[in-house]
């Protein structure tokens, strides 16, 4: 890969733009220091023109949220014949859509909290829709990440407010049964779990501030679970990734209750790569320092569903397989 021109895609159009820039900058610094030829490409609505003016061999996607994590950019890269990191168009779209992901979880017997979905215009009759669903309830935009627009409602008044708030980020809002449990994140690479970290946020739940401001959360790595249960959590994470057909480096968010039950909340196909992000912490405990993690992600770049139809994709994949063996030996 070191004779390839790597484009680091960062920024984007979503509410997570700042997080994406932080992720992209960190990846750029790590890969450049390791001898890779990289160019930062700030994603906006003219990204197609920018990519034509800045020819690259491989795209390292460091985007988060709408238009970056949901298959849109992945589709553009496929049309342009540029191999990219992360999951395919379909897997990216499914994982980003919390409703469709949960439907697949249920289909494949991956435990997930009970839920229902409403439009942002349903706020006036939310009491009727909610019915006997119960409280507390957790509200989040259907297609957003980094806990943007999310919150916990303890009564119908808070529920109405949170549905309206989440509706500012998406036309559709997911209401989920609140499950009291430990917040666990599992890092997965190529379908194999690297480990699990437990998060204890000062705010009560892992919100935007807890994720990206230092000192707002306490971490336990590995997660404080019995060996048997720890192994079970890793297995559930791998199943969740598999049922969405996600590839590359992913992060699975799980709740582990005191009653020995685990619930998958979501699969993140483009996990954060900032200094406070969870995937780098988990990978570090598994033997990958930050640079090695970036290289492992880069080496797995493909052309998604169209792999094999492009000379560039075939070349990238061949080198990826060779370099991946070397990386695993080193780590």
Which residue numbers are catalytic? Answer: 16, 146, 212, 251, 253, 266, 268, 272
What's the count of helices (H) and strands (E) in the chain, helices before strands? 12, 12
CA distances from 275 to 12, 258, 266, 284, 287 (A): 20, 30, 22, 12, 17
Name the pairing type of β-strands 151-153 and 137-141. Answer: antiparallel
**Sign of the CA dihedral with 11 first, then 12, 15, and 20 last:** negative
Torsion 233-238-242-247 (CA) sign? positive
- Report whether 193 contacts 238 (CB < 8 A): yes
- The C-alpha angle 205, 225, 270, rounded to 5 degrees, equals 55
Three-class secondary structure of residue 121 per DSSP: helix
């Amino acid at each position: 890969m070191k004779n390839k021109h790597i484009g680091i895609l960062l920024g984007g159009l979503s509410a997570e733009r700042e997080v994406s820039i932080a992720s992209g900058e960190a990846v750029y610094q790590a890969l450049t220091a390791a001898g890779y030829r990289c160019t930062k490409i700030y994603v906006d609505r003219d990204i197609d023109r920018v990519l034509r003016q800045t020819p690259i061999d491989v795209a390292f996607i460091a985007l988060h949220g709408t238009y970056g994590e949901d298959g849109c950019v992945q589709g553009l890269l496929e049309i342009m014949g540029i191999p990219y990191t992360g999951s395919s168009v379909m897997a990216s779209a499914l994982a980003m859509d919390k409703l469709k992901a949960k439907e697949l979880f249920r289909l494949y017997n991956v435990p997930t909290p009970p839920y229902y979905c409403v439009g942002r215009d349903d706020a006036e009759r939310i009491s009727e829709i909610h019915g006997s669903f119960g409280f507390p309830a957790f509200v989040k935009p259907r297609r957003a990440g980094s806990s943007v627009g999310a919150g916990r409602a303890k009564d119908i008044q808070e529920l109405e407010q949170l549905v309206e708030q989440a509706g500012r980020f998406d036309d559709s809002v997911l209401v989920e049964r609140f499950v009291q449990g430990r917040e666990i994140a599992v890092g997965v690479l190529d379908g194999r779990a690297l480990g699990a970290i437990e998060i204890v946020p000062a705010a009560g739940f892992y919100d935007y501030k807890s994720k990206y401001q230092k000192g707002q959360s306490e971490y336990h790595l590995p997660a404080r679970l019995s060996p048997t249960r720890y192994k079970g959590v890793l297995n559930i994470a791998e199943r969740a990734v598999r049922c969405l057909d996600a590839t590359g480096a992913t992060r699975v968010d799980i709740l582990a209750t005191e009653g020995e039950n685990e619930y998958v909340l979501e699969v993140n196909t483009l996990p954060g790569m900032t200094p406070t992000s969870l995937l780098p912490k988990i990978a570090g405990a598994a033997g990958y320092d930050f640079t090695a993690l970036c290289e492992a992600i880069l080496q797995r770049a493909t052309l998604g569903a169209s792999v094999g139809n492009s000379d560039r994709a075939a070349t990238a994949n061949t080198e990826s397989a060779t370099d991946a063996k070397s990386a695993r030996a080193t780590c």
